[in-house]
Structure 1
Amino acid sequence: MSTTPKKIVAIHGSERARGNTLDVLEHAAKTLAARGVELEIIRLAELRMSPCGPCGDCNSRTVPCTVDDDVPEAVRRMAQADGILYAAPVHGFGTSALMQMFIERSGVGYLRFERPLTNKVAGVIVTGRRYSHTEVHGHLVANVMLNRMILVGSGFPAIVYGNQPGDARHDDEGLEMLDRMLHRMVDMIELLAEHRELTGRDAMATDKANERDDRWFAARSSPVG
């Protein structure tokens, strides 16, 4: 088994500095530490992050976004990790505004060019009171799939219920589902690392072609027939 230290980066998508989402991530950090895995939490509320602006060239540019903020550094830290966790609360029947902003800025501005998160093992955590959890979970899972990450099944999704700060710490079933997901993420990370050490290659294809380069546009715009 590989003894190389492993790291998972969590994208913390809540505006609250101290709330249920962070409580759940701190629980996750303890679970992962017991497996020898470091959890690095990127708190979106602390980033200098601009929303997508009116420039309008996102679907024509062939190089990363030039907006000067902290998003490219967050993407770099994600690309260096073995796994990614997206953790967001339900806000207004949907994904929190901070997480949505990050998905747009990171995806359209940086990730679409080489898909640097390809084959990262991914997990999704949703916190909230009692509604729209599955919609937010599905939204984040779609983002995982778009970025060619590996989503490991773990039974029921890691949805943790709570209203007031501190409530999520008492959702035993939700935390159990979270732990199951985390253990299976670590198992998959280790399996992929072992395969790489034994064979000298990745277990899955790592095609990172720029989806916005001239060849991509040529193929999309060429006449049919």
Structure 2
Amino acid sequence: MEKQSEVKLFGTWASGYCTRIELALKLKGIPYEYVEEDLPNKSDLLIHHNPVHKKVPVLVHKGKAIAESLVILEYIDEHWNHTPKLLPEDPYERAKVRFWANFYDQKFGPSIYNIMTSKGKEQEKAIEDSLEVLKVFEEGIERDFPAKSPFLNGGTLGFLDIVVGSNASHFKAFNEVFAVVFDPEKNPAFCSWVTAMKDCPLMKETLPPHDRLVAKLSKLFLQPPKA
């Protein structure tokens, strides 16, 4: 077990990408120090640890910095290789998990951002596009990970559960602020999976409060910019 001072996580409370790392650390039982960053006024320490992207999350382990959430998750699973494991042991199963994690971040994540930053007809089109991406994702998950319950990793949260759950578990806040995109009738498999993750005690403990997140999203995307 690592000493608390040996593991630090630089993050911000509203970021699902940072929530991913907290979930993984807690799941593995790794003590860590959390450092909240004010992103409009990034600390010199954050920029020092992540000079390329200058963003969170950043995990610092024994003075060595690791950036980018998917990379950090793999580092955690490889360095602290005790159970529960985040990634499957089988190389093919690991490859499938990595593929869909990258698809989620590269395709679905940007499609959601397009909804948040558009209005009117543009937003309607963004919602249609996002639902198409979600359909591909949902069908792929059902095909590649059949009969997994309640999580894709089985009885505990795994790599892909953490990647998706840290963001998608906020679907009620998202629907409240923007538009109804996540619909159990249209995407029953996806919504059932997300609900199971959202009800997980570890997820409940780690996710930011609903009301606080709604206020944050409304302030960022709905209020007119100051003159």
TM-score by length of 1: 0.31
- Which has more helix, going by share of residues? 2
Higher relative CO (CA 8 A, sep ≥ 6), structure 1 or 2? 1
Task: Looking at secondary structure, tell me which structure has more strand per residue.
Answer: 1
TM-score, normalised to structure 2, is 0.30
